[in-house]
């Protein structure tokens, strides 16, 4: 059942284009289905015809959505609003405030990355956004990792979220429903770029002991943040404990030994409480 995926990866590694790889993967689906005992019985000319019709319908949905997204992208490109917004990050809105500048940069990164693959989106943002962050005193490595992360996140962030259109064709869900689910699942990814800026040890800058401590506490913080958003640690947690876990995550993610210790104590207490609850 993994043969079509292996075919796609193999064709891509061989240097062929993504559309050609997708075609090869599609052509390998039928032979794989014929080899399976459970799937062979369900294959007929009727099921093949119905599958082709379903594929055409899903393609039309994706094509329409991409065309609509192209209008948004074209407006941004023709009006140069992305470039104007970038110039205002340093000279206007942020006023030299690093946190505000990072938030504005994140918004601009998502705006500039709409409808673009990750590599072109990063190239655009590296040219337009990263220099603005460097001018504010942020390390060059942190600035580029920051914009790189948001170049990736732009493909799952509404309103364009180009990767969701293909998912919607398979799931039948609405754009905003899928977009909210994607943002919720990837919520920790929106925080990690800020950790690179305010936690230089995550970029392997500093002593090895400091790097190890920061990496461990940041990892625990990200896990706690995800748990607080989804309401589950070892067991389902109440709304109040979700707020406590969220505060613990922020304390662990924020730089500083004191905040790390507070976060670890709170997480330890929650884990102990859940462990005792599971035994009763």
Condensed to tens digits (0 to 9), the pLDDT of residues 103-152 reads 888 888 888 777 777 777 787 777 778 877 887 788 888 888 898 888 88
Question: Which whole-number Å values give the CA distances from 184 to 169, 180, 214, 230, in the listed order?
Answer: 20, 6, 25, 8
Instruction: Give the pLDDT confidence of 7-48 residue by residue, as tens digits.
Output: 888 888 888 888 888 888 888 887 877 776 666 677 777 887
pTM (predicted TM-score): 0.63
Could you tell me the two tokens for 69?
């997204």
Mean per-residue pLDDT, 245-269: 85
Class of residue 69 by CB neighbours under 10 A (exposed 0-12, middle 13-18, buried 19+): middle
Question: Which whole-number Å values give the CA distances from 145 to 127, 136, 138, 191, in the listed order?
Answer: 13, 15, 11, 12
Instruction: Give the pLDDT confidence of 77-89 residue by residue, as tens digits.
Output: 677 666 666 667 6
Distance CA 238, CA 102 (A): 32
Mean per-residue pLDDT, 154-165: 74
DSSP-based three-state secondary structure for 68: helix
- pLDDT value of position 93: 62
């Amino acid at each position: 059942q993994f043969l079509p995926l292996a075919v796609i990866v193999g064709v891509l590694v061989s240097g062929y284009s993504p559309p050609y790889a997708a075609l090869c993967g599609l052509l390998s689906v039928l032979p794989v289905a014929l080899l399976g005992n459970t799937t062979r019985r369900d294959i007929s000319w009727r099921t093949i015809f119905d599958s082709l019709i379903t594929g055409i319908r899903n393609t039309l949905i994706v094509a329409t959505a991409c065309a609509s997204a192209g209008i948004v992208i074209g407006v941004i490109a023709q009006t140069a609003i992305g470039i104007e917004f970038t110039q205002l990050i340093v000279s206007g809105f942020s006023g030299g405030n690093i946190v505000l500048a990072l938030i504005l940069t994140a918004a601009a990164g998502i705006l500039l990355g709409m409808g673009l693959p990750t590599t072109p989106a990063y190239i655009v943002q590296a040219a337009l956004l990263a220099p603005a962050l460097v001018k504010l005193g942020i390390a060059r490595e942190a600035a580029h990792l920051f914009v790189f992360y948001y170049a990736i996140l732009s493909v799952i962030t509404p309103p364009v979220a180009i990767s969701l259109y293909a998912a919607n064709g398979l799931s039948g869900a609405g754009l905003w429903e899928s977009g909210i689910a994607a943002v919720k699942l990837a919520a920790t990814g929106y925080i990690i770029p800020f950790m690179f800026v305010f936690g230089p040890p995550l970029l392997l800058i500093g002593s090895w002991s400091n790097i190890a401590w920061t990496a461990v506490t940041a990892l625990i913080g990200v896990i706690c943040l995800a748990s607080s958003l989804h309401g589950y640690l070892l067991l389902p947690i109440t709304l109040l404990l979700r707020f406590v876990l969220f505060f613990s995550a922020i304390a662990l993610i924020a730089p500083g030994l004191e905040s790390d210790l507070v976060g670890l104590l709170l997480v330890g207490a929650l884990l102990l409480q859940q462990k005792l609850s599971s035994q009763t």
